[in-house]
Amino acid sequence: MNTVTQVLNNSLTPQISDRLSKNFNRHLKERVIEFILMLAAFSAVLTTAAIMGILLYESYGFFEHVSIADFLTDTVWTPLFENPRYGILPLVSGTLTVTGVALLIAIPIGTISAIYLSEFASHRVRETVKPILELLAGVPTIVFGFFALLFITPLLQKIIPGLPTFNMLSSGIVIGIMIIPYIASLSEDAMRAVPMSMREGSYAMGATRFQTAIRVVTPAAISGIVAAYILGISRAIGETMVVAIAAGQQPNLTFNPMDAAATITAYIVQVAMGDLPHGSIGYQSIFAAGLVLMLMTLTLNIIGHITRKRYSERY
Amino acid sequence: MMNKQQTKNLNEVRAMIQRHKLNDYIFSIIGLLCLMVGLITLLTLFIDLILQGYPKLLSLSFYTDFPSRRASSAGLLSALVGSSLVMLVTFLSAVPMGVMAAIYLEEYAPKNWFSDLIEINVSNLAAVPSIIYGLLALGLFVYILDLGQSIVTAGLTLGLLILPVVIVATRESIRSIPIAIREAAYAVGATKWQVVYDHVIKYSFGGILTGVIIGMARAIGETAPIITIGALTFIAFLPPSPVTTTAPFLNFEWLSSGFTVLPIQMFSWLSRPSEAFHVNAAAAGVIIILVTLIMNGFAIRMRYKMRKNIKW
């Protein structure tokens, strides 16, 4: 037995080792490539970690000077003044007011658009409208800021006399229009995922399209639609340029959309535009504000994600 | 023979059907109107910008002048050059990274917690507000890595911002390639990388390109992260040219140069109280919106065509 193997080995050794080494190289190359690709994918994790790391690190410096209780309960935000006060509430109220106005516009229009696109529209209408909605979603926000300040606000001032040049109403309306495409297309996806048999069952009972859409399709797709709303809210909260241009720069604890007020994002822009020394409390304050923003959007995104997961598993 | 009661019922039913049909009709009109909101906004926006900005748009010097303290002689030159150079950095950083990450997630990633972790992070990053990327860049690129308020900082920031867009588009495109293509390649002895390089990347090229164009269109219009790194300054010079006439013909000094980009220039004109500068802002807005609409339109059209034409 042994000799046979030896003979075999002797005669074949050159080729086998040759092929084995080639194979080894091939495997090595494959492993190296896989590792490089893995590193590229891992960059997503690193980016998230870096974002959280930077926000927490700079906020830590901020909270060494400011107590968290003051930060969350004080009603005045003036970090750059002589006697600085650090209450985030005015920025949060501004953010929520703008978001509220945006939702009043985007939720009805977005939902009706989605129902129409999914249940009423002919193939041709859908194929024409969806690209236009996508184009609208691609318009840069700075252009929307211009539109809010120099078109919507003058228009509103004709309807509402005494409306200040900077106000949260016009920014809210424009942000609302901006997030219509997100809400409409995500809701439509959810509605189209509802199985045809459910619609057919409803039609067979003599229901009209409208009844089917409202009483069968919408309830069946509700978690997807809610997820769309939540993601829309998250977008509205994080929107920056429109509010920085058109809503005003003064932190103001109010929920009246006719007033001017700064949002969290507008405050960050305002401070970043000035030349604050690195490491100063003003510099750190934008990271603390950013942390609040990040936590708000992160929570919403997670809730939205979970809601959406639930509907996609149901059918 | 129907008795009175039956006739009455029949009429009631007919009236009800009429009413419900009317509801259908009314709703379809409301639906159409709602759809129109987007279209009308887009049109109004564009026409308003053109009406306000046309005197500047038509003058050639607007494209060849530096920004100036006088609205009449202020131009876009440094912003046009700055945007192009920043986009170059963004392209070179986001596209290879994004495509590689997508290939890993679709072709290599085993089903385990590690892959899940990456997936969750990609979808989370896509929803992070852009100004947060600006804060990341300010803390990390500008101060910790000491890259300053330079073209490379802006390019990398926008690169990170559009990374999820590129990853998602590439993955979708890769996923649409039938498994049979891969099996055929494996059957003739190809390694995984050979399959990916010779087949998967090539067949998904169109989809990757659409994703890249949409991502780049977004990056061109992004303002908030660039302002956050502190780049809102008066730039009346051009960065050193990337290409030189003497050997080695390439020059990397431009990467660390100060810069301005189109949306930043528009913002700085828009935030001045003087109306004359608003004309400049409108003209800059027309340029930005034209560039993004053309890029997005091209990408959407391309995707639509691919969906129609490709039959495996």
pLDDT digits (tens, 9 = 90+) for A139-149: 999 999 999 98
pLDDT surpasses 90 at A116: yes
Q: What is the pLDDT of residue A237?
A: 93
Q: Looking at the complex, does the CB of residue A115 fall below 8 Å from at least one CB of chain B?
A: yes
Q: What secondary structure letter does DSSP report for B71?
A: G
CB contact under 8 A, A272 and B138: yes
Q: Which of A12-16, A155-159, B209-213 has the lowest mean pLDDT?
A: A12-16
Fold for A89-314, please state it.
Answer: MetI-like fold (1.10.3720)
CB contact under 8 A, A245 and B108: no
Contact A315, A195 (CB under 8 A): yes
CB contact under 8 A, B38 and A132: yes
Instruction: For residue A55, list chain B residues with Cβ-Cβ distance below 8 A.
Output: 132, 135-136, 139
Return the residue in A139, A187, A263 with the most chain B beta carbons within 10 A, the one to mutate for interface testing. A139
CA dist., res. A62 & res. A51, Å (int):
17
CA distance A174 to chain B (A): 9
Q: Looking at the complex, does the CB of residue A126 fall below 8 Å from at least one CB of chain B?
A: no
Three-class SS state of B274: coil
Q: Which of A42-56, A89-103, A106-120, B53-67 has the lowest mean pLDDT?
A: B53-67
Count of beta carbons in the 10 Å neighbourhood of residue A197? 8
Q: Which single residue is written with the structure tokens 């750190």? A: A284
Count of beta carbons in the 10 Å neighbourhood of residue A157? 15
For the segment B287-307, what is each residue's pLDDT rounded down to a tens digit? Answer: 999 999 999 999 988 888 877
CB contact under 8 A, A43 and B125: no
Q: Which of residues 163-192 of A touch B (CB under 8 A)?
A: 177, 180-181
Residues 6+ apart with CB under 8 A from B71: B269, B274, B276, B277, B279, B280
Q: Which two structure tokens, joined as six digits, stand for B200?
A: 């998967």
pLDDT surpasses 70 at A15: no
Confidence of residue A315 (pLDDT cuts 50, 70, 90): low
CA dist., res. B260 & res. A74, Å (int):
38
CA dist., res. B154 & res. B142, Å (int):
10
CA distance B246 to chain A (A): 35
CB contact under 8 A, A177 and B38: yes
Q: What is the pLDDT of residue A75?
A: 79
Question: For the residues of B139-158, what is the DSSP string, one character each?
Answer: IIIIIIS---SSHHHHHHHH
CB contact under 8 A, B132 and A55: yes
Of B39, B263, B300, the CB nearest to A140: B263
CB contact under 8 A, A240 and B128: no
Low pLDDT (below 50) residues in chain B: none
Instruction: Provide the whole-model pTM.
Output: 0.87
Q: What is the pLDDT of residue B310?
A: 65
Give the nearest chain A residue to B132 (CA atoms): A290
Q: What is the pLDDT of residue B217?
A: 92
Contact B226, B263 (CB under 8 A): yes
Average model confidence (pLDDT) across chain A: 86
Helices H / strands E in chain B, number of each? 13, 0
CB contact under 8 A, A287 and B139: yes
Give the nearest chain A residue to B220 (CA atoms): A140
Q: What is the mean pLDDT of residues A172-178?
A: 93
CB contact under 8 A, B131 and A120: no
Q: What is the pLDDT of residue A98?
A: 93
CA dist., res. B182 & res. B196, Å (int):
8
Question: For the residues of A148-160, what is the DSSP string, one character each?
Answer: IIIIIHHHHHHHS
Contact B279, B53 (CB under 8 A): yes
Interface contacts A/B by beta carbons within 8 Å: 262
CA distance A209 to chain B (A): 7
Return the residue in A130, A142, A243 with the most chain B beta carbons within 10 A, the one to mutate for interface testing. A142
Q: Looking at the complex, does the CB of residue A155 fall below 8 Å from at least one CB of chain B?
A: no
Of A57, A133, A143, the CB nearest to B289: A143
Asked if omega into B55 is within 30° of 0 (cis), the reply is no
List C-alpha distances in Å: A204 to A214, B11, B22.
Answer: 16, 21, 19
Q: Which two structure tokens, joined as six digits, stand for A147?
A: 């539109």
CA dist., res. B135 & res. B160, Å (int):
12
Q: What is the pLDDT of residue A126?
A: 87
How is chain A split into domains, by residue range?
2-65, 89-314
Q: Which single residue is written with the structure tokens 């990757």? A: B208
CA dist., res. A139 & res. A134, Å (int):
9
Contact B35, A116 (CB under 8 A): yes
pLDDT surpasses 60 at A93: yes
Three-class SS state of A77: strand
ipTM of this complex: 0.86
Quote the radius of gyration of chain A (alpha carbons, Å): 28
- Phi-psi region for residue A85, left (φ > 0), alpha (ψ -120 to 50) or beta? beta
For the segment A29-74, what is each residue's pLDDT rounded down to a tens digit? Answer: 888 998 999 999 898 899 999 999 999 998 998 888 888 888 888 7
CA dist., res. B91 & res. A31, Å (int):
27
